[in-house]
Amino acid sequence: MRIKNKQKKPDNITDQFEKLERPDPTEADLKLAEKNFRAFLKEMSLQQSPCISELHQIKTTYKDIKETKILTQIEIVYSGKSYPYNFLNIRGTLIPDYLHKEIFQCNFLDVEIMRAGTYNSKNSIIQLFTGIVIIFSTCIKSILVEVVDPTITIEASLQRCQEIIDTYEEDRHKSILSIFEYLAKAIDIYEKLDLLDSFIKDPEGAKKQYKNEPCFIDKLKSYRESMYIDSGIHLEQAINECIALGLFKQYQRSSTSNKKIENIPVICEGHTLLNNTKLLKKLNGSSLNIEGNLKKKHNFEAIDHKILELLKQDKFKNKYKSKNAAAEKIADEIAKEIEVFMNNDRNHNNHNQYIKLENLPTRILKLINKNPDLYEQIIHK
């Protein structure tokens, strides 16, 4: 991703989001803006243009204009194509368009700006907001493989995601859905936290709105930190599940990797919550071995789950006199189905874990021993 500025970047960009407020223009700022705008209208109305009547209309109704906005536009090059992106420009401070959106309204151009790190905020609420959007979109992109139109919103892309997820084998389908459940919990808490933050800034307004709940208003600040932590925990759970399922595989590196030489992409740069607090730590170094083991464990658990599913069929109910006999006989009957399942799972989820079919009776016996209910169902007394 390349970002091409259409104007000179300010020498110093302060943390424009520190208080989640836009700076109020001074009286001098307003007078200067009005003067410049009037001069612009006058100059344009003198030119020969088919739009002259429209300009006169603007000039006539100028006194009714309550607000003017100065926008700075840049180009984002995405998959070889250029797309415009707007920033609100307030006295040289650039505020990204995504700060005026809800999470599900953000698109993949917003995400490119967030990932680049140039306009990251130190404000914890905005860090949580952008952290959720970055992980949400990265997960979606891994499932879709490619996002052709970066102007598509997270909300719109979820429908296509659902269509793909519905084609997955049952265990992976459930695992992928668990990621979105974690994200949904993180978003739910974030939205409440964002509302709570607005109450903290305007306690009088909050008290008027919730005049029957004065105790709640007094406890707002004490809730803030715990809610922030809870939302972050669910976000981390979503991240860890994405890593365990291989959705972030392209971003993983070993302790000896050199991302500049090997051209390993990163999920984001300079993001305080995701990078500095190490929510993405499992993408790096020795953590890969741990995650690799967890992924192997998950793959073998999927095989066991399939075996259990087949063992619970009615045709095996009260059919065998002993566990050993049951394990041997059932293994012969389900071997072909297990083999097909393992081949499909390896191809679909890009791994090489499997069990040898000659060891299938032993695996079945272990499952019977671990599940008393299954023993009661299969063994004839």
DSSP three-state, residue 24: coil
53 and 125 housed in the same domain: no
**How far, CA to CA in Å, does 231 sit from each of 83, 98, 125, 235, 335?**
32, 20, 11, 6, 44
pLDDT at 157 over 90: yes
Ramachandran region, residue 174 (left: φ > 0; alpha: ψ -120 to 50; beta: rest) = alpha
Cβ partners under 8 Å of residue 119, min gap 6: 13, 16, 94, 96, 113
128 and 251 housed in the same domain: yes
73 and 178 housed in the same domain: no
**Number of folded domains in the chain?**
3
153 and 274 housed in the same domain: yes
270 and 145 housed in the same domain: yes
pLDDT for 117: 81
Element of type H or E holding 83: strand 81-90
pLDDT tens-place string over residues 194-206: 877 776 666 665 5
325 and 265 housed in the same domain: no
Q: In percent, how much of the chain has pLDDT > 90?
A: 24
298 domain-assigned: no
Q: How many CB atoms lie within 10 A of CB 27?
A: 7
Ranking 29-43, 188-202, 318-332 by mean pLDDT, the lowest is 29-43
pLDDT tens-place string over residues 228-278: 889 999 999 999 899 888 888 888 776 555 555 457 778 888 788 887 656
299 domain-assigned: no
Residue 198 sits in which domain range? Answer: 101-285
Which of 48, 65, 96 is the last residue in one of the domains?
96
- Amino acid identity for residue 341 in this structure: F
State how far the Cα of 360 lies from the Cα of 90, in Å rounded to an integer. 68
335 and 190 housed in the same domain: no
Could you tell me the strand order of the sheet in which 71-78 lies? 2-4, 71-78, 81-90, 93-96
279 and 326 housed in the same domain: no
87 and 129 housed in the same domain: no
The DSSP-derived string for 188-214 is HHHHHHHHHHHHHH-HHHHHHHTTT-H
56 and 7 housed in the same domain: yes
Residue with tokens 């420009």: 89
Cβ partners under 8 Å of residue 224, min gap 6: 193, 196, 197, 200
305 domain-assigned: no
Mean of pLDDT values over 153-172: 90
Which of 285, 320, 346 is the last residue in one of the domains?
285
167 domain-assigned: yes
296 domain-assigned: no
91 and 123 housed in the same domain: no
90 and 129 housed in the same domain: no
pLDDT for 155: 93
Ranking 101-110, 161-170, 247-256 by mean pLDDT, the lowest is 247-256
- Cβ pair 364, 327 in contact under 8 A: yes
- Amino acid identity for residue 231 in this structure: S
Which has the higher per-residue pLDDT, 374 or 155? Answer: 155
